[in-house]
Structure 1
Amino acid sequence: MSEEKKNITRRDFLKTSGVAAGALIGGGLIGGLVGYNVNNNANVPGKVMPSEHATMVPQAMQFFQNSRDFQVLSNATERIFPKDDLGPGAIDLGVPYFIDHQLAGQYGSNSREYMHGPFAVGAPTQGYQSRLTRADIFKQGIIKLEEEAQKRFNSGFSSLEGKQMDEILTAFQKDEVKMAGTTSAFFFRLLRTATLEGAYSDPMYNGNKNMDGWRMKGFPGHQMAYINVIESEKFQKIEPMPLGEMR
């Protein structure tokens, strides 16, 4: 593999991660920045505290029961989708709250999915294979992230430097961490997919704060029509529109 292909930047990632941001909301996207197969932004600070957000839904934890677990989640998502000169990262986009609220609902309970046996470790292309719900997997995964931080660096996950967090997340991606009823690689895929969905979802779901995720991709959101610009040969930069403001 050439050095050019190895050094994937966040700008390249945002350009190529899906034809349209809306595609992420339906089925999710297998992609991300943190991982042993891409070049990470090593200059992003390691310890990040969740910031205050003002969106359509109250910003309060609904699933996680303590601030430590929520902070671990926040820092993990920030390493996957870090803030840089291109735009905000996962925390400023409200991704941790997006994931928290999704886990508190039907996404977390798998209530609309077939959850009976037999259960087997399937290929990554075979979809959901665990007897555990997403809520159970995230609970265990967050605990394992903290345990792995203590084991490797004798410190909590949220107190680590960015490269140390990346080392742990990469170990999960490579399935090097033992988990019960699922695999660490599967947890990492869930976490990465949920992070990206939170960055590009409609703001009514608590992610994509101020539609900045859409702005980074030049996605116009939910426009009523394009009749006034459809025949133009020039690229149209359109201010994005959320579902809550459609009339």
Structure 2
Amino acid sequence: MTNDQKDQKGLSRRDFLKTTGIATGALVGGGVIGGLIGYNSKKDGKTTSGTNAETGHEAPPARGLMFFQNKYDFNVLSHAVERIFPEDDLGPGAIGLGVPYFIDNQLAGNYGSNAREYMQGPFFAGEATQGYQSRLTRAEIFRQGIAKMEEEAQKRYQKGFASLDAAQMDEILTSFQKNDVEMKGVSSEFFFKMLRQATLEGAYADPIYSGNVNMDGWRMKGFPGHQMAYINMIEDEKFQKIEPKSISTMQH
């Protein structure tokens, strides 16, 4: 879908990005939410992506699901994150950047299992300003959240979430954001915040984590990625446009 496609209320995907308080400038680098570098690397330290001979750009890494057991749930996730971070004339959206695969990989690791966090009781409903309060792991929350998105789509429109139009998807996502959808063990508002945060992480994390394909997320921000040094340009008063580099391109 393109930026010219509007929903029935005249709300574009970029407008939705703004009205939900999502600032694409909030993350401008490798803020990674989990450690799965080993899954996407070869022993020589390079990613499994390779290079497209026609464009000279890094090709998307080999895709395979690690957490989601079926393509349908993954498709629901993909459509949801694309609505949060849409493609437009500035560049690719969440799907083009590989965000769904990034989230899938993260949920399969320590991020999804909350392996490095205190997860013992007591459990109380937290305030909006508080952090993680649920007894559920992120993997469990994502599974339930995706199931709820599908349930809401069927209840409201008698269609699957992935078959809805833009306005209908936005309506459901906004209901989650406003905490109007009942979930067990966690609020729908908290799930939406987690989904939004993971979307931004996938768009701007180092490509070695399966998101930010071709470093296009960085390119849209003018972020240089991981440069070895800036000594040759640090005293130059002119604006420097630097081709971004991934961790995978750094020499040992």
The CA deviation at 1:23 is: 6.4
Unaligned runs of 5+ in 2: 1-13, 35-57
Corresponding position of 1:226: 230
State percent identity of aligned pairs: 66
* Residues 96 and 24 (structure 1), Cα distance of their counterparts in 2 relative to 1, 3 Å cut: same
Q: Does 1:17 align with 2:25?
A: yes
Describe the superposition over 1:29-63 as per-residue Cα deviations: whole angstroms up to 9, x where unpaired: xxxxxxxxxxxxxxxxxxxxxxxx9444x311111
Look up the match of 2:243. 239
Deviations 1:119-174 (A, max 9, x none): 11112332111000000000000000000001111100000000100000000000
Aligned residues: 213
> How far apart in 2 are the matches of 1:8 and 1:75?
17
Q: CA 1:206–1:109 in 2, change beyond 3 Å: closer, same or farther?
A: same
Aligned match of 1:216: 220
Report if aligned partners of 1:202, 1:211 keep a CA contact under 8 Å in 2. Answer: yes
Please name the residue that 2:114 is paired with: 110
Q: Which runs of 5+ in 1 are unaligned?
A: 1-6, 28-52
1:19-168 equivalences under 5 Å are: 21-22=28-29, 24-25=31-32, 54-56=59-61, 58-168=62-172
AA matched with 2:88: D
**1:63 and 1:101 in contact (8 A); partners too:** yes
TM-score, with length taken from structure 2:
0.79
Question: Which AA in structure 2 matches 1:131?
Answer: R
Say whether the 8 Å CA contact 1:15–1:217 is kept in structure 2: no
Task: Give 1:21's aligned amino acid.
Answer: V
1:181 corresponds to which letter in structure 2? G
Q: Which amino acid aligns with 1:25?
A: V
Deviations 1:43-88 (A, max 9, x none): xxxxxxxxxx9444x3111111111100000000000000000000
Partner of residue 206 from structure 1, selected from 201, 210, 235 = 210
What does residue range 174-213 of structure 1 map to in structure 2 within 5 Å?
Answer: 174-213=178-217
Paired letter, 1:203: P
Q: Distance in 1 between matches of 2:138 and 2:186?
A: 10
Q: Secondary structure at the match of 1:195?
A: helix
1:141 counterpart letter in structure 2: G
